[in-house]
Structure 1
Amino acid sequence: METANRETRAELSAWEGRPVRCAVRLAAAGHDLLAYDCSRPDPVASQPGPGEGLVELAPSQMAALRVFLALTDRLRSRPAPGLAEQVRGAVYDRGVSRWRLHLTQQQMESVAYGFWLHRLTGSAAEANRFDRDYGVVYAPQAQTTENCAAW
């Protein structure tokens, strides 16, 4: 917060038509904090929509998923529609140390694909845990072509 100096209080007093003894306003960081807080999801547990199920992700899984979503513009197989919004709206449950979000089956398959990419470039733990907890794993299909010279 910024406190008004004597000159500013005099101007405010003239504007208000009465003495202004104290005046404060939000600093830039205060405005940013309000904007940030308003964009965060409501901590009240939301109900899953039609076709959605509750998914609880460990912090390492959520970190890997955020990397996957950050690469959306560079990926040929893009994340499922609505997945980014679900991740932004996820709520962290401190009691069980898990991020809670509601995903459709298509979004869960997209998450499994992101964890598969993470597995190939880092750790397999996130994909293995997701497979164990939800039974969803990405398995690439072998692609064959008649004319290999086209590659």
Structure 2
Amino acid sequence: MNTRQSRLDVLHSLRERETRSGYGWALSTDVPPGLQQSLQTAAAQGLVELADREIRAELSAHEGRPVLWAARLSPQGHDVLTYLDASPDPTPNCTPPSADEQVIELRPAQMDALRVYANLGPVLRVAPADGLVERVRTAYFDRPGNRWRMTLTTEQIDSVAYAFYLRALSGSVAEANWFARKYGVTYRVDPATGRPGAVRPRARTVSP
């Protein structure tokens, strides 16, 4: 087990024990010596708080016996687990896309621009397509390829084009131009309707 996972396991164990205790502190009687040692290390990293003499005295009064050691998550330790719980699964989605879906891959800078649009969703007049915010949140990062990967519907892909359209009008056309070349979708005024929207090249009609 790697060091990062070991640290997370220690924090999870502490959270379970401090929740069970009813005091918001995990007491020495519920924490094995090996885990206590790991928690001492986590405390040195600012992820765990160890009870001082005053708090131990209060806990002793509640317990009716001496409490010589107690620990709880620090605010930072709590936030680490909260962030982890809200983070996407690092395992790639191996489910094949359905008929109306397509796998989209974005470079980190392009994904940053899309996240700005997704985060602004509630205040935008042209909101992200249904489900896009969740797809962005749970996107898989392919480290060797340095790409964020998502499976999107046609409507969600149109929203990505709109996000890059906003980015283009704000100063950088690189994302919109790249997306148009790569996926054949651009957001502009459609000559056929005179209205702005996602535009795809129309298939050419071959004369008989």
Q: TM-score, normalised by structure 2?
A: 0.61
1:140 to 2:189 alignment: yes
Q: Give the equivalent residue in structure 2 for 1:147.
A: none
Gapped runs of 5+ residues in structure 2? 1-47, 196-208
Structure with more relative contact order (C-alpha pairs < 8 Å, separation 6 or more): 1
SS of residue matched to 2:104:
strand
Per the TM alignment, residue 13 of structure 1 is displaced from its structure 2 partner at its CA by 4.1
Aligned pairs for 1:91-102 within 5 A: 91-102=140-151
Aligned-residue Cα RMSD (Å) equals: 2.2
Mapped to 1, the partners of 2:84 and 2:110 lie a distance apart of 24
Q: Letter of the aligned partner of 2:144 in structure 1?
A: G
Gapped runs of 5+ residues in structure 1? 145-151
Mapped to 1, the partners of 2:127 and 2:72 lie a distance apart of 44
Q: Give the equivalent residue in structure 2 for 1:114.
A: 163
Identity between Structure 1 and Structure 2 (%)? 52
Q: Give the equivalent residue in structure 1 for 2:75.
A: 28
Alpha-carbon displacement from aligned partner over 1:50-98 (angstroms, at most 9, x marks no partner) = 3332211111211211222233244332221111111111122221111
Aligned residues: 144
Runs of 4 or more off by more than 6 Å in structure 1? none
Alpha-carbon displacement from aligned partner over 1:9-40 (angstroms, at most 9, x marks no partner) = 24434545654332111112211111111000
* Contact 2:118–2:136 (Cα < 8 Å) also in 1: no
SS of residue matched to 1:24:
strand
Q: Give the equivalent residue in structure 2 for 1:43.
A: 90
1:3 to 2:15 alignment: no
- Between structures 1 and 2, the one with greater strand share: 2
Q: Letter of the aligned partner of 1:121 in structure 2?
A: S
* Contact 1:80–1:107 (Cα < 8 Å) also in 2: yes
